[in-house]
Each structure stands twice: as structure tokens, then as C-alpha cells.
């Protein structure tokens, strides 16, 4: 039986970052497994049959305000700086998302020129709600009913399978409302794509003589065959405990890729469809990867209630169930749960890397 200092389940950003740190900074022998046939977790990208670089599990735009995270990842990739812009298709027109001054002018057919004018216009639209209890309250208290109905209500229903009233306020609070004309989706200091793709970033992250990687390997199949001091688990926490207390609900997606014999399919990397069609968005990641080629591949995303666990559904009942699992997890001294699935929390890539780097600092002093 092979012996390792650390056995890491999952080769996404959480598992691969910690493997790299433990091997290179602390000279630990590490085994990383993933049940998929590739490393990179949900950030994985690859060249499709037509030679177009695509993201297998939906578009992954890297951004962060953390210099520490950016510097760490820069050791494993060059970058292509890219600011991501999104449009929403509403009433047969394209509008900037997040809602900004241009969106408001276009939607209401008015001409507001300053942030103050936008603010007083929205003040007249806002619904006064003393305690914001859910995502509907969150949006109508910021922008009123018209924008809520056209941009938020149906998109949220499609994406989450329940209306904004049933969801934590945090779901819609993620999307800012701007009084200026900034049409970037994010405003983080660092916004970039790995120049040669995420698959190259991960190859470099896991390239160390002390790191062994096993793909197509499920934890339940191999656990009894490996000897190790500590387990780091980045899979679903409810699955680890064999769903003893019930399943933590997730929203899933079906990705429908379409190839076109033209250079670009649409003018933007992402167009959202809040009210039309069954899909939520069409993404042409080529805008972000910067790949030069005469044809293109786009992906339509269809939300599902069953399938791969992509989005934890934030609501009080699910949070209560997660807390029960977390308490069980805390009893296990030699198992560490980290990452999006293990913490049942929608975390961006940079947040996962940041938390993982922090965890390494704690492990170092143990
Ligand atoms: C559609 C979509 C779009 C996103 N877009 C962005 C974006 O634009 N920007 C951004 O910052 N973040 C984005 N994210 C979030 C991003 O995917 C996560 O932050 C990141 O993947 C988290 O890394 P992780 O290592 O925690 O989890 P994951 O990437 O999910 O990796 C976990 C790995 O563990 C493996 N695993 C689980 N259980 C087992 C087991 N029992 N045995 C073996 N292997 C197992 C899984 O196969 C998986 O590969 C997006 C997420 C989704 C779903």
C-alpha cells in the first residue's frame, strides 16, 4: 500500500492549490484523485473537435482583488487581460448588465446624465421594505418593479427553479446596480484569462515530483487502498457522510454546444435571455480566450434540478442542513473539508484559492 502525507480528493482549484503548496513549500508527499477524466474541476477547458478552446462546465472568467492570489497563480500561467461584458436580451433589445445608467436610459427611454439623477430616479421607483427577507425584496427595494419584472424575475426562476421570493437576498445582491455607465460585469483589480487555458494552468500547478495524480478515481473506490496521515476532501460534504441527514440540494445545468462556420456568432462573450427561450444564456468564450480561428463554438445553458452539482441553493433550510453536516465534519480531526462543494457555498475561483492558501498557513504551524 502506497503511503502519503496527504490524500486530496478533487483536483479543482481547492485540491490542486493545496497539493502544490504542500508539496513545494512543506515537502509533503501528496496523492490527488479526481473521479473525472481530467484535472481542473469545473474550470477545465479543452479544444473541441473543431479546434475551438471551450470551457466544459460553463464560462469561467477569472477575477480577483487579491494580489496574493493573483501572484500565486501567476507562477503557473501567463495571463490574457480581459474585462468581461454581458448583455441581456429584453423586448428584442440588448441591454447592459449589470443595470447601469445606460440600461436605465434605454429601458425607460429617458436621458439621465449624472449619478445623482439616476439615484433620484431610482429613489422614486424603489419599494420601501424595512427588513429585506429574500431576493425579490432585495431587487425591488433597489430598483422597483419594472426592472425587477423584466430583468430579474424570470431569469432567477429559470436559473434556480424557484422565484426570487424563495431565495436568500444574497442571490440577487451579487449583481450590483450602477449609477454610472461602467458596463464591465466585474470591477475587480485583476481580470484575466489564463493565456494558454485553464488546462495548462492546472498541468503546471500539479507538476511536482511529490504530487501523484490519479484521474478516473473515485474516493469510495480507493479510500481503503491508500495509507495517509490526513485527508483533504473537496467533494460534496453530504456525499462524504453518505447522505445520512439527507441530500443538500443543488442546481445543475445542461450545456448544449453549437459550432458555426463563421468567425463570431455574437458580438459579446455572453448574452442573457431572462424572458425568452428555455436557456438562460448563450456564451461565446472565444471573445474571452482571444483565440484566433475562422470558426466558433457557442454554448447554451439549460438549468436543471438534477445532475452534476453546480450551484448550492442558498436558503435557510439548506443552510440548516449544511450546518448539521459541518458539525459532523468538525468531529473528524484528520479530515479537512474545503472548496465549493465541501463548504456548500457558491465560491468564485479566487475565493477558493484564497481560502486554500490560508488553510496551508494553518497546516504549516500544526
Ligand atoms: C457554470 C459555472 C460557472 C462559473 N463561473 C465562474 C466564473 O466565471 N468565475 C469564477 O471565479 N468562478 C466561477 N465558477 C465557480 C468555480 O467553478 C469554482 O469557484 C471552482 O470550481 C471551485 O473549485 P473547487 O476545487 O472548490 O471545486 P470543483 O472545481 O468543483 O472541483 C471539485 C472536484 O472534486 C471532484 N470530486 C468530487 N467528489 C469526488 C469523489 N468522491 N471522488 C473523486 N473526486 C471527486 C470533482 O470531480 C471535481 O473535479 C463557476 C461555476 C459554475 C458551476
Q: Would you list the domain boundaries of the chain? A: 3-39+206-249+313-365, 86-173
- pLDDT tens digits, one per residue of 237-280: 999 999 999 999 999 999 999 999 999 999 999 999 999 999 99
Sign of CA dihedral 279, 285, 286, 287: positive
Sequence-distant (≥ 6) Cβ neighbours of residue 237 within 8 angstroms: 248, 322, 325, 326, 329, 337, 341, 342, 343, 344
Q: State the DSSP H helix or E strand holding residue 159, giving kind and residue range, or none if neither.
A: helix 154-160
Mean pLDDT on 209-221: 97
Q: Taking 70 as the threshold, does the pLDDT of residue 228 lie above it?
A: yes
Placement of cell 469561467 in the chain = 60
Q: Which three cell numbers stand for residue 324?
A: 448539521
Q: How far is the CA of 129 from the centre of ligand 1 (A)?
A: 36
d(CA 58, ligand 1 centre) in Å: 11
State if residue 13 touches ligand 1 by the CB under 6 angstroms criterion.
Answer: yes
Residue nearest to atom 46 of ligand 1 (CA): 10
- Report the chain's mean pLDDT, rounded to a whole number: 96
Task: Give the tens place of pLDDT for each residue, 17-64.
Answer: 999 999 999 999 999 999 999 999 999 999 999 999 999 999 999 999
Ligand 1 in reach of 355 Cβ (< 6 A): no
Residue 177 reports pLDDT greater than 70: yes
Distance from the alpha carbon of residue 262 to the mean position of ligand 1, in angstroms: 31
pLDDT tens digits for 308-359? 999 999 888 999 999 999 999 999 999 999 999 999 999 999 999 999 999 9
Reduced to 3 states (helix: H, G, I; strand: E, B; else coil), residue 202 is helix
Is the minimum distance from the CB of 310 to ligand 1 under 6 angstroms?
Answer: yes
Domain 3-39+206-249+313-365 has CATH 3.30.1280.10: no
pLDDT above 90: percentage of residues in the chain: 93
Note the pLDDT tens digit of each residue in 140-150.
999 999 999 99
Contact 309, 344 (CB under 8 A): no
Mutate to test the pocket of ligand 1, among 11, 12, 69 (most ligand atoms within 8 A of CB): 12
- pLDDT for res 316: 87
* CA 267 distance to own-chain centroid: 23
Distance, in Å, from the CA atom of 246 to the CA atom of 286, rounded to the nearest integer, reads: 40
Strand segments (E) across the chain: 3-9, 30-33, 45-47, 53-55, 62-64, 79-81, 86-90, 93-97, 190-194, 211-214, 227-233, 250-260, 270-272, 281-283, 296-304, 311-312, 335-337
- Condensed to tens digits (0 to 9), the pLDDT of residues 61-100 reads 999 999 999 999 999 999 999 999 999 999 999 999 999 9
Amino acid at each position: 500500500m502506497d503511503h502519503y502525507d496527504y490524500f486530496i480528493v478533487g483536483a479543482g482549484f481547492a485540491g490542486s492549490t493545496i497539493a502544490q503548496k504542500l508539496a513545494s513549500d512543506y515537502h509533503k508527499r501528496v496523492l490527488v484523485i479526481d473521479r473525472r477524466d481530467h484535472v481542473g474541476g469545473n474550470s477545465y477547458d479543452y479544444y473541441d473537435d473543431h479546434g475551438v478552446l471551450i470551457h466544459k462546465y460553463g464560462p469561467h472568467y477569472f477575477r480577483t482583488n487579491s494580489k496574493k492570489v493573483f501572484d500565486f497563480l501567476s507562477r503557473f500561467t501567463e495571463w490574457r487581460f480581459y474585462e468581461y461584458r454581458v448583455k441581456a436580451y429584453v423586448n428584442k433589445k440588448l441591454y447592459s448588465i449589470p443595470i447601469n445608467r445606460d440600461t436605465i436610459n434605454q429601458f425607460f427611454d429617458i436621458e439621465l446624465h449624472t449619478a445623482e439623477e439616476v439615484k433620484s430616479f431610482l429613489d422614486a421607483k424603489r419599494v420601501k421594505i424595512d427588513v429585506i427577507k429574500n431576493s425579490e425584496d432585495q431587487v425591488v427595494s433597489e430598483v422597483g418593479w419594472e426592472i425587477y419584472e423584466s430583468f430579474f424575475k424570470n431569469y432567477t426562476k429559470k436559473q434556480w427553479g424557484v422565484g426570487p421570493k424563495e431565495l436568500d437576498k444574497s442571490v440577487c445582491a451579487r449583481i450590483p446596480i450602477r449609477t454610472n455607465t461602467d458596463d464591465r460585469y466585474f470591477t475587480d483589480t485583476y481580470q484575466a484569462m489564463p493565456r494558454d487555458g485553464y488546462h495548462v494552468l492546472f498541468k503546471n500547478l500539479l507538476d511536482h515530483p511529490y504530487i501523484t495524480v490519479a484521474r478516473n478515481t473515485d474516493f469510495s473506490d480507493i479510500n481503503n487502498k491508500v495509507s495517509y496521515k490526513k485527508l483533504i476532501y473537496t467533494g460534496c460534504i453530504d456525499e462524504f457522510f453518505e447522505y445520512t441527514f439527507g441530500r443538500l440540494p443543488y442546481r445543475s445545468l445542461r450545456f448544449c454546444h453549437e459550432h458555426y462556420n463563421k468567425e463570431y456568432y455574437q458580438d459579446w462573450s455572453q448574452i442573457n435571455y431572462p424572458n425568452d427561450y428555455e436557456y438562460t444564456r448563450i456564451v461565446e468564450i472565444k471573445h474571452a480566450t482571444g483565440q484566433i480561428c475562422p470558426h466558433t463554438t457557442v454554448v447554451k445553458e439549460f438549468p436543471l434540478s438534477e445532475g452534476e452539482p453546480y450551484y448550492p441553493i442558498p436558503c435557510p433550510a439548506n443552510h440548516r442542513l449544511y450546518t448539521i453536516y459541518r458539525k459532523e465534519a468538525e468531529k473528524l480531526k484528520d479530515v479537512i473539508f474545503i472548496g465549493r462543494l465541501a463548504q456548500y457555498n457558491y465560491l468564485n475561483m479566487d475565493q477558493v484559492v484564497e481560502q486554500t492558501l490560508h488553510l496551508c498557513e494553518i497546516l504549516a504551524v500544526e
